Structures are given as structure tokens and as C-alpha cells.
Amino acid sequence: MIEAGRVTVGGITATLGQTAVLGVDDIAVDGVSITPTQELLYIMLNKPRGYVTTMSDEKGRKVVTELVSDVGGRVYPVGRLDINSKGLLLLTNDGAFANAMMHPRYGKTKVYQVRVRGDVGLALPKLANPMEIDSYTVKAVSVKLLKHTPDGGIVEIAINEGRNRQVRKMCDECNLQVLSLKRIAIGKIKLGNLPPGKWRHLTEKERVES
């Protein structure tokens, strides 16, 4: 059936050897979904520092799913925040929603508040211009200085690409040391005043408009 092109994953024709997760990815045969009927869950978590964004960890580190064990179903992180970063993390069991939030072609803007040490005035113009990170050219959607601090400042950086540790690497390119990094928005979904380590369901408006 796969060779005949009858199987799709997330609306894209599947290939031999491709992997998919039943109950997360939208798997269909001849256009008919075979994903088990289940309650779809969409939540946001204010991830604290010290947690890895995985379902389990071979090193025994704390994982974000420990913080949402009372959600009433199994959910998966949408994208990643590294262990030293904090802030908005989405989790769901809806593969189509996760793909729409993660895939670069949908261009979801991610906004970060970054406290840095260094010459912010000198670095800001460079942060706002295209730069090469890991052999890719990236460019911030916007860069704003929110506050000066005695040793640097707090900068808001918005990006579309979301490559691995991109914001940290951008700051490093501009000779800024990242002291803390917090994601505050993905698309139209905003973290707001959700306390660290807590989660809540997304509203219908957040799901539809995101």
C-alpha cells in the first residue's frame, strides 16, 4: 500500500522506511484516517530551567512531561527549549497541529526575552542584520532593547527559523553572553502570566488563530 502511494502521514504521501507515531501523526490509507479516536489535547507549559524537552532522558535528567502528568492524556512537546532555557512550550497529541506550529514553511514567529552581558548598543545593529549560523543565513524578524542593565541589557528577539539554539548562537556571534533566555510567544500564542512549572489548556481562539 505504501509503494502504491495509498498511505499518507500528515497529508504527505508516505515512503518505505518512514516512521510515524500512531495517535500523534495523522496516518491515513486511501484518505481515511486510521488514527485512534481520542480526546485532542492542546496545552501550554511555562518550562522552568533544568528540564529537557523530551519524553524521557537516558541521563536521568528531569523531563518536561513530568510537569504535565496530570493533563489526563499523553502529550508530546511541540519543538524544543534547551535545558537552560525557560518559558512557553506547547504540548499536544494532535500531530497536524504540532506540524503546523513547528514546520518552517508555516513561518510561526517565536519571541524571546534574553538577558545578556556585553555591549548591547554595539551588538543590536548586528543582531538585526542577516548572519550565518551553522552554514545557514538567518535574520531576526525584530530586535528590541527592553532595558539596560549594569552589565548589559534585556533584549527581545523574534525569529522565524527556530534552528537549534539559534538565539544563543546569534548572541554569541555578537559577543553577548546569554545570562537567561525565556520564550514568551509562538505565533499568536503568548505565555502571559502563567507561573513557572505550571500548565494550562489553550483556548479555542488560541488554537484557531495560531
Distance from C-alpha of 22 to C-alpha of 20, rounded to nearest angstrom: 6
Distance from C-alpha of 3 to C-alpha of 81, rounded to nearest angstrom: 37
C-alpha grid cell, residue 37 = 479516536
Amino acid at 25: D
Please, which residues bridge with residue 177 across strands? 117
So which residues are the catalytic ones?
Answer: 82
C-alpha grid cell, residue 183 = 520564550
SS3 125: helix
